[in-house]
Amino acid sequence: AQRVTQPEKLLSVFKGAPVELKCNYSYSGSPELFWYVQYSRQRLQLLLRHISRESIKGFTADLNKGETSFHLKKPFAQEEDSAMYYCALKIGMIKAAGNKLTFGGGTRVLVKP
Amino acid sequence: DTEVTQTPKHLVMGMTNKKSLKCEQHMGHRAMYWYKQKAKKPPELMFVYSYEKLSINESVPSRFSPECPNSSLLNLHLHALQPEDSALYLCASSQEVWRAQETQYFGPGTRLLVL
């Protein structure tokens, strides 16, 4: 069965420092990876999709199929980046799996002034 | 309207009560989802509806009964719940179910406490 692992429960960094949130997945086929974010008292929302190769709010994430990883990075963290971040995996292009997202355990990021 | 709304925000119920959670979206999405999120844990999928038909049931106990009366509305009927069912119940929607890289849009959740 597919699995998503986020090894860090909490990441605490100073404003302006780089931040990297690790995400590893286990799935032998063609995965679809996402990063979702939940700011304090707000709803869960999409941050990034691997297929888009985009940078959102300064964050980027690269899918490394060899290492089965999808780490999230930002070179200069801001206080408003403090939130809970979830890596999520959807098994790609298998109709039976539908749009089933499997979430990692989450990493809480705290950016200190 | 580009949001998923959920009512009520909070719900307290006894183990013999019957209650319902409601989720609504007016984005024309054809897929809707129920997730359960326990404290300090990630969301776990419960049900997926595609074009108003149940397409995925993640072996959820029958005391949870989903219903999709139309393409904009998703209900979760609760009956004879247990205290361990206390959690945040999240609704989400997406344009389709089967399309690659489909974004799911989440509601704010209903916080349920079963006494």
Residue range A23-66, pLDDT digits in tens? 999 987 778 899 999 998 899 999 998 877 788 899 999 889 89
A43/B56 touch (CB, cutoff 8 Å), yes or no: no
Distance of residue B19 Cα from the nearest chain A Cα, in angstroms: 23
Mean per-residue pLDDT over chain A, rounded: 89
Give me the pLDDT at residue A31, please: 83
Report chain A's terminal Cα–Cα distance, integer Å: 41
Give me the pLDDT at residue A61, please: 94
- Range with the lowest mean pLDDT among A28-32, A84-88, A109-113, B76-80? A28-32
Higher pLDDT, A51 or A88: A88
Q: For chain B, list residues with pLDDT below 50.
A: none
Give me the pLDDT at residue A41, please: 86
Give me the pLDDT at residue B1, please: 65
B55/A98 touch (CB, cutoff 8 Å), yes or no: yes
CA distance B105 to B57: 19
Phi and psi dihedrals of A50, rounded to 5?
Answer: -65, -30
> Which residues 77-96 on chain A approach chain B with CB closer than 8 angstroms?
86, 90, 92-93, 95
- Residue A95 confidence class, pLDDT cut points 50, 70, 90: low
With contact defined as beta carbons under 8 Å apart, do A59 and A78 qualify? Answer: no
State both tokens at A16: 């302006």
Q: Which residues of B touch A50 (CB under 8 A)?
A: 101
Distance of residue A18 Cα from the nearest chain B Cα, in angstroms: 25
Q: Which of A12, A76, A67, A4 is nearest to A34 (CA)?
A: A4
B42/A86 touch (CB, cutoff 8 Å), yes or no: yes
State both tokens at A97: 């799996």
Give me the pLDDT at residue A96, please: 55
pLDDT higher than 60, residue A97: no
For B15, the 3-state DSSP assignment is coil
CA distance A95 to A101: 13
- Residue A101 confidence class, pLDDT cut points 50, 70, 90: confident
